[in-house]
Structure formats: C-alpha cells, structure tokens
Amino acid sequence: VENAFSVYSQQYRHNGRPLEWAQFAYAVSNAIFFVHGQDYIEMRAASTSEALNTSMQAMAKEYLASNALDDATPAGFSWLPEKDLDVKSVTMVVSNAFGFKRLDQVFTGEYRIDDITVTAYISERASVEEAAELASSFSSFFLRFGGKELETAFPSPDGRIIEIMDSFNIVFSKGAFLAGVHEARTIEVARELASRLHKQIGVMSGGQNTGN
C-alpha cells in the first residue's frame, strides 16, 4: 500500500478534482489516477472529453468492484498530527528525501500555522539506534551546506535547530522515529510543529511525551 501511495502522492496534480469512489483518487480533464491496494493505476484518454472521463471512471469502478479489497490507509497518516494538516499534501518519499540520499521511506505533510505553510516529515526506522544516528547524519548534512546550528535538545535530547537560507529546520528522533520540520519561515512555527510531532510520537508509543 505504501509504495502505491508513494507513486500516487508524488505525481499528484493539485488542479485535479477528487473522486469519492476510492480513498485516493482524482481526475483531470483527460485522465484519472487512483490507488487500489498495492496498485497505483492511471487511465488516460487521447483527448479531453467529459464523456470519456465519465467512461473511464465507470471502468475504474467496475475494476474495483471485481477486485474488492479492504481499504488500507498508509501508516504515515496516523503519524502526522491532524491539526492544521492539509491531508491532500501528504506524500511518501521512497528515497533521497530533501536531497539526502540516506533518508528514505519518509512521510511529509504541509501545515498552515499562523498563515505560514510549513512541512513536517516523519520516518519509522528499524531501531532506536538507527533513528538517532540518521537524525545526526541528516543534521550534519544541513551544516555541510552552510547551515548554522541555533539550539540543541529540542524537542528531544538529540534535537537540533538549524538555520539555512533564511529558513529553520528541526531534526530529532524519538524511539524508532526520525522526524522534523523543513524550511519553516519562522523559528516559532518550526518549534510549534516540532512539538506537535514529538507529542504525536509519544502518544503512538504509549503516551510518553517527553524524553527520547
């Protein structure tokens, strides 16, 4: 499910219109796109026609009916805090997230906080140790490209706040999760969203919202 959603989310066209007959589905003038279980499906017409689009949707519905599956939502949707999240912006990046080749299997989502759009990200790693080491490496990646570390130990003991190119990034780990905030315009918004992420991971881990 995650891989199919990854393809769907990364090619998502924001001018498309959502389709209600599938959890992840939308249409543009000459094509429809949707996810069904482990499959990502595109249907394209040779020309723009509402009648053709309607016919493609009818075919897609028949396909779904003849290949019935229980709806499965990618895990990352429950990892990202709901408040202020633009659900349509949620994306799964399979590899090379934010230009860092070691960072893979990352869910991202855009938030609107204090009229500022900011991106949060989260990735479940194989172990606590891997999450902590990857957070450290990712932070160092920003520093190598001119970033300046402003503060440590937020929102967890290994958390780092890095200013780069007039924006603020926060990287931290908690348990087996690496998470953070990417390119926030203000440090206040970056800290607010990082705190929400940290709290959400704590809830998922059994209600412990402090510490690492």
pLDDT of residue 207: 55
pLDDT of residue 130: 97
108-165 pLDDT, tens digit each: 999 999 999 999 999 999 999 999 999 999 999 999 999 999 977 798 888 999 999 9
Calculate mean pLDDT across residues 55-75. Answer: 88
163-204 pLDDT, tens digit each: 999 999 999 999 999 999 999 999 999 999 999 999 999 998
∠ CA 104-106-110, rounded to 5°:
145
pLDDT of residue 91: 95
13-46 pLDDT, tens digit each: 888 999 999 999 999 989 999 999 889 999 999 8
Q: What are phi and psi of 199, to 5 degrees?
A: -65, -45
Residue 208 or 102, more confident: 102
Q: Which two tokens stand for residue 83?
A: 């408040």
pLDDT of 71 higher than 80:
no
Sheet architecture: strand order including 148-152 = 85-93, 106-113, 116-124, 177-184, 167-174, 160-164, 148-152
* Number of C-beta neighbours around residue 170 at 10 A: 27
Instruction: Place 208 in a pLDDT band, splitting at 50, 70 and 90.
Output: very low
pLDDT of residue 13: 87
What's the CA gap between 3 and 192, in Å, rounded?
30
pTM of structure: 0.83
Q: What is the DSSP string of 187-203?
A: HHHHHHHHHHHHHHHHH
